[in-house]
Amino acid sequence: MRLVVFVYIAIALIALVPWYIDQRYIFHIATMITIMAPMAFSMALMLKLGQLSIAQPAFMGFGAYTAVLLSMSLGLPTAAALVAGGLMAAFVALLVGPVFLRVKGVYFVLLTYAFGQIVFLIFQEWTSLTGGMSGLYGIPKLTLFGFRLRNAEHYYVLGLVFTAVCYLTILAIEKSSIGSIIESLNEDEMLSLSMGANAISWRVAIFTLSGFIAGLSGGMYAFYIGFLSPDPFGFRGSVELIVINTIGGSGTILGPLLGAIAVVPLPELLREAQEYQLMIYGLCLIFFITFLKNGLVSLVVRRKE
């Protein structure tokens, strides 16, 4: 327990580092961590059900494009557009969830992979709406409660709040009776069914929540970067989320946060060797699966077998 408290204190101190160094580049990396950590949380939610969802970047894309198009084309306030993006992603998850979640294991992985690829192609080919690979420019900055977020420091503060809210929400779910239901669906579904739990309904609910979190992350990403193309929402994004969860600790809540802190800076630090990014991810996976299969979180807390 003392070690866990120490880790939380260390994370809080790490969160203060950008202000200590006070460089735009550091604020950018820190902001990207606060965008990708909730994305990793969204995948971790599905992993708690024993399901690996490759569709999370697609939901992120739905949130991003919905938020941007509503704000740029319809003039909707950016804050409302951001929430609408999250709701659109959740709605899509709610639509496909009852179909996808009737299968498990590799079949679910393949379904979500196929869905993600279809969505990526739509983003890429529907140029009249999304701009295709040329992207959408001139995205307005996010305005919250009359305050316009103009730079990376502002978005970093918002990202910290967003990450903290996501973490505490998922932690509350895990500690509640809902968390017990989720755990039982993963470990002994027949027992859950005998106790009256509706497996499909609970799975769809968690899938929808994961889509909502991913959609909000997408909207925040779009407003922060100011340019939107399909590239972040392809299969590479799924690989990055898998790496984050594996290195941090698959199926845990603290793990994705530790994984995001460790993994997200890598593309920025290895920008000159971008073509080797997937290879580096692969080597990291091999190392952690071989020598630290429960991830960084296993150094902090003992997991139940």
3-state SS class at 228: strand
Cα maximum dimension of the chain: 57
pLDDT digits over 241-257, tens only? Answer: 999 999 998 878 899 99
3-state SS class at 104: coil
259: phi > 0 → left, psi -120 to 50 → alpha, else beta; which?
alpha
Contact 254, 297 (CB under 8 A): yes
Q: Which of 193, 212, 174, 186 is nearest to 301 (CA)?
A: 174
301: phi > 0 → left, psi -120 to 50 → alpha, else beta; which?
beta
Amino acid (1-letter code) at residue 247: I
Q: What's the mean pLDDT when you consider all of the chain?
A: 89
Which residues, in sequence order, are CB contacts of 9 under 8 Å at separation 6+?
Answer: none
pLDDT digits over 223-240, tens only? Answer: 999 999 999 999 989 999
- Please report the pLDDT score of residue 305 as a whole number: 43
131-144 average pLDDT score:
91
The Cα 237–Cα 58 span in angstroms is: 9
Q: Judge residue 53's burial from the number of C-beta atoms within 10 Å of its C-beta, 0-12 exposed, 13-18 middle, 19 or more buried.
A: buried
> Which residues lie across from 136 on neighbouring strands?
228
DSSP E strand boundaries for the chain? 143-144, 147-148
pLDDT digits over 188-227, tens only? Answer: 666 666 666 677 888 999 999 999 999 999 999 999 999 9
The Cα 219–Cα 86 span in angstroms is: 7
The Cα 133–Cα 144 span in angstroms is: 29
- Please report the pLDDT score of residue 178 as a whole number: 85
The Cα 163–Cα 175 span in angstroms is: 18
In the block, which residue shows the tokens 């003992």?
A: 302
In the block, which residue shows the tokens 């991810």?
A: 281
Distance set, CA 57 to CA 227, 237, 252, 301 (Å): 17, 6, 20, 29
Q: Which of 187, 209, 210, 211 is nearest to 199 (CA)?
A: 187
**Could you tell me the pLDDT band of residue 272, with boundaries at 50, 70 and 90?**
low
